[in-house]
Structures are given as structure tokens and as C-alpha cells.
Structure 1
Amino acid sequence: MIEDDGRQWAGTRRWVEGVLAPGERIARVRELKGGWTSRMRRLDVEPADSNGSGDGGNDGGGQGYALVLRSFVKPFYRRHAPALLAREAGVLRLLEAGRIPAARLRAVDATGEHCEDPSLVMTHLPGSVRVHEDGDVPRRTALLAQQLAAVHAVAMPEQERPRAWQAWTSPERVQVPAATARPRLWERAVEVIGRQAPAHRGCFLHRDFHPGNVLFTGSGQQLAVSGVVDWVETSWGPADLDVAHCSTALTLLHGVPAGMAFADAYEQAGGTLTADGGDHLYWRLLDALAFAPDAEKVAVPWRELGRTDLSAPVLTQRLEDYLQALFERYA
């Protein structure tokens, strides 16, 4: 039996084992780093006649393989788990027939009827999250842009579309850094998002697309996207909003030039953004201001992945410089 922050997960384990093929068993459980909203665990599954090596490979075929268990353990996300997990389960089913590299759904207990925490279990995707500063950053950025354009190209009948997009901040909720030397810059940014949202053409949005939710394999010319994860926020809305979110994340991870380059890479990959600079500025600022004052929410999982250089002062400075760059280009 495995302990999880002082609580046993025996019920969750029984539930997962109930969806395995006859004779299969959970041989090993490993924590996956980099998550914020959920507790993520890799479950190595083996047949009953396995030698117990625990090294999972492909799914099925009488040999070991791996699953991923997502569990909402924080009170806020537990309350919203039924809608979040139902949405992700639906999206994973939708994507099974397409070319987006997403996991396959195995089972979902959105209300925690059988599990200690509301949970979803899915297939394990190859690859790893890459957030380090290295020579692959430009190529990763281009691949991220290509993958996001492919996500936005997913077509579906109107009756099957996900919920409409939601803003993650508003003028009254923006937290301006206390020590900023450019208060007028922040005031201007807040004023922009105080206007009515621009008219836009909707498309299928991941809504939380950023380097922490994309898996890569290889390096250099062999670098490739191997998976896109975390579909709980999937929405229908403007492509600019997904581009804005990834741009902000790239800014915080790698600096303002990386964040400013992403929209161009997205359009080069065949994606379409609004032609109106002021409208695009609205979407970029709406996303960026949701990270204020110091982007600590994303910094915690990124530090777990090795980016210990991302201190609050560094992130705050990058976010402020990014606002300035957005005004210089799009205002």
C-alpha cells in the first residue's frame, strides 16, 4: 500500500486495477514532476507472468507498459474536478481518431466515487518535458508553433464543441508588482483588457498550451514532439489566446525575445491570427496579466524540473519587459 501525503490510495489502486486486463498488475508507481493542478503518477503495469523488471514499454500485447494517473488533491481543484475531468475525458476520446499526439483514455472517476481523489487514468506518452536553456530552444519553439497550429485545425461539429473560452484575469484582479518602476506601463496594460473582448473567429483551443504541457523526444535535428498533455481547460475561442499563453510562458522561461518570436513562428507554421494589432494586443495582455505579479504559480513546477534560476525577481522583470515589448510592437 502506498501513502500519499498521509492518506492511503488503496481505493484508487483497486479502481485502476479493475480496468486492467486479466492477469495484469501495477508493479511500480513513480511520481511525475512538473504539475501544478494535479498529482501525476506513472503506473508501470506488468502481466502476472512477468519477471518483475518494472520497465514498461508499449501498451498491451502481453508485455509491460505504463499508464498515467491524474488525481486532483487540492481543495479548489477537487471541487471543480467533475467538470475538468469530464472535459479531459471527452477530449481524449475525440482525439483518438486524429493526428494530435494525445494519450488514450482508460478510465475516469470524475467525482471520486471509487477513488480517494477524483482521478483519470490514461496511456503513458513517450518523451519528456523540456524547459531548460540549451541549443534546442529555437527548434523547440518552432515545433511548439507547428503543434499548436495542428491543434487549432481540429474540426468538429458545432454541437460537439467544448465550452466557450474564459478569461483568467480582469482589470480588478490584476496584481501589480509592488516594487515596479513602471507603474504607468501596468496601468496601460490594465486599461487595454478593460475593453470589450474583440470579435474573433473561434477554433478548438488547448487553452493551457505551453512548454510544460508538451513532450519531446530526441535532440537537434531529431527533436520531435511526442505528446501534448493536460486537456482539462480545452475551450472554443480565438487562436490568439492560445498563442498568447504559450508566448507568455516562453518569455518567463527563456526571455522576452523567445516570447515575442512565438506568434511569428505560429503564422509561419500555417496558423492564422487576427490582423488587427490592437486586437492581438488585447489577447496577449489578457494572458500576461494573469501571471502577475511574479508568475510563482508556474515557477514552482519549473523549478522542480531544474530551472532553479527562475526566481520571483527574474520572472517579474521578464513579465514587465514583455509588457513593454508588446506595446512597442502592437500598440
Structure 2
Amino acid sequence: MTDHDEAAAVRPSTLAWVSRHLEAGERIVKTEALHGGITAEMRRLTIGTRDGVTRDLVLRTYVDPFYTEHAEGGLNAEAGALTLLTGTGVPAPSLVAVDPTATQCEFPSLLMTHLAGRTVLDDQGAKTRVRLLARQLVAIHALRPAERPRTYVTLTTADTVVVPKGADPAVWAAAIDVIRKPAPPCEGRFLHRDFQPGNVLFDVPPSNPEDARITGVVDWAPSWGPADLDVAHCSVNLALLHGPAWGLRFAEEYEEAGGVLAATASERLYWRVRDALAASEEVRSVSQPWREAGRTELTTRAVEERLDAYVTALMDALG
């Protein structure tokens, strides 16, 4: 086995575990670190087959003590989602194996199939991709699993919000007051819970970006809750990547694709403001992978400014 780079090294116990889940005559011939993950290390494993060809798998490993503490629940939920999604038409990886408590691996790990395509974070072609994202999310929310995943959880509170430097205190105070109220009643849906451009793979023909198509949806953290939560999460990511107007537009595209959101403006405001304020706590960790992917202009400060502008736009439009 050869490593693509030093960071791609996989621990011996994990290599042995992966090998036990390969077909007869297969072996791991290369590992390659995949960049962009925040909570876990991601690697592509190239598998040599006995026919002399190769295939790829993806290994997710939780090594940071902060995240390994909660890895069991997350990996079990993802494994359940990948099993559920088989045959649904939603382009998700297939589960190969999972070791959520690190009984066989050095760290909690999940092994899945590799999907074609790539994440696309550029401004060019955003209009087409936003429409595709909306349609894909409607399809996800249309799923009706026999067994519901865990109920959604939101961790941000009025006391944990980080107000960006230079933001209008009155606007942010009003936004924070929105999430002091109880969550509005909602009709539950099957949620991805981290649906955003960084977790969607595209095939974009260089000669015609308008013919882009989605080839995969990854990094599932399934929950049961309001469709507005997934829409709000994708909206704030689009606002930070491409500008506040794109965050506002996504909800419109979702409804045009047949999605149903909360009935009243105040209910919609609650969910969108809640996710926007949650982003205030994660600006640094979110923006770094984007810069590594080539969006070097998205400094922490630049993303903070876009978040401020988006929160202001939400309060103006729905508040």
C-alpha cells in the first residue's frame, strides 16, 4: 500500500478491519486524504481487485477527542440512513461497515462506497446548482421511513450567539429575541440535517455548466423535524458562500420545486434565524475548508460580514 500523502496514513487496526470487509482477493493499494471535513478525517481508499482493476471506498474516522465522545450516536445514525436510502433514488453512498465504538478499529469509523462527482463551491453556475439543490432536498423530505430517525436537536441558545464585530446591535438583539421563544409546532419530515453545498457532489460538464447534475449527497446526520430546518441550514451556507441574496432565494426555489414550509412568516423566521445564529458560533471552522477548496477570499472576517448582512436581510424580509 502507498500513501498519497502523509496525512492519509490509516492505523493498522483500521486497515485490518477494512480488509475483512473486502471481497476475496481484494487489497488496499492506496489511501488519499479527502479535505473539507470538520468533525472527522475522511479518506478515499483505492481497492485493487483480483481482476486487476480498482474501485474506491470512503473511510470516515473520528479521531478528535471532542468528536469521538459523540461518535457512536452519529455513526449509528449515518449507517441507518445509508441503509434506509438504498433503493430510494436519493444518490447516497452504500454502507459497507461501521465500528461506532472502536471495538475493532483504533477510532470510531464508518466505511462506505465512493460516489462519482465533486463538491462545487464557485460562484459561477450557482443559479443552476441552487435549483438542483432545492429539487434534491424536496426529494429527501418526501421519504417516509418505516422507522423514524431521532428527533432533531438544536444547540444554539440566546446566550451562545456570537455577534460579529461591527454588526448592528439592535438587529442582532431582535434576532436573538426570536429564538428565545419556544419552537413553533411543525409537521415532521425526514431531514438530512447538514444539507449544504459542501455535502453534495456534482457532475458539471466544462463545456456546458447548465447541464450540471447531482451525483451524490453525503455526510448524513438524519433527524425527524420541520423541513424548514434543512432549508434554513442550506440557505445560510449559500448566503455565506455566494452572498445573502442566495440565502433568501433558496427557500423560494424549494417551494417552486414542490416543497412545503411553515405556514406563517413568523414561523419561517424562527427557523431561518435560528440556523443563521448557529452559524455565528462556527464561522472559523466553516470558512477554513472553503478556503482550502479554493475560495481564498472567504476569510473569517469576510464570512462574518456576509452572515451579518444575511441576518439583517432576514429581519428586514420576515421580521
Partner of 2:48: 46
Which ranges of structure 2 fall in alignment gaps of 5 or more residues? Answer: none
1:316 Cα deviation from its structure 2 partner: 1.0
2:214 counterpart of 1:225: yes
Q: Is the 8 A contact 1:78 1:118 kept in 2?
A: yes
> What is residue 175 of structure 1 aligned with on the other side?
162
Change (3 A) 1:33 1:5: closer
| TM-score (ref. length: structure 1) | 0.92
Aligned position for 1:25: 27
User: What does residue 136 of structure 2 align with?
Assistant: 147
Task: Give the match for residue 236 of structure 2.
Answer: 248
**Contact 2:8/2:31 (CA < 8 Å) preserved in 1?**
no
Q: How does 1:252-271 map to 2 (within 5 A)?
A: 252-271=240-259
Do the aligned partners of residues 311 and 81 (structure 1) sit closer, same or farther apart at CA in structure 2, a change above 3 Å counting? Answer: same
Q: What does residue 58 of structure 1 align with?
A: none
Give the distance between the partners of 1:315 and 1:86, measured in 2 at CA.
33
Structure 1 equivalent of residue 279 of structure 2: 291
Shift of 1:181: 4.1
- Shift of residue 49, structure 1, vs aligned partner: 5.2
Structure 1 ranges of 4+ moved more than 3 A = 1-8
1:193 aligns with 2:179: yes
Could you say which residue in structure 2 is the equivalent of 1:110? 100
Aligned length: 314
Shift in Å at residue 296 of structure 1?
A: 1.1
Identical-pair percentage? 46
Bigger shift: residues 295-304 or 117-126? 295-304
Q: Spell out the pairing of 1:88-167 with structure 2 (5 A cutoff).
A: 88-134=78-124, 136-157=125-146, 160-167=147-154
1:79 to 51, 69, 73: 69
User: What is the CA–CA distance in structure 1 between the aligned matches of 2:189 and 2:242, rounded to whole Å?
Assistant: 28
User: RMSD between aligned alpha carbons?
Assistant: 1.6
Of 195, 200, 209, the residue aligned with 1:214 is: 200
TM-score by length of 2: 0.95
Q: Which amino acid aligns with 1:124?
A: H
- Residue identity in the other structure for 2:218: V
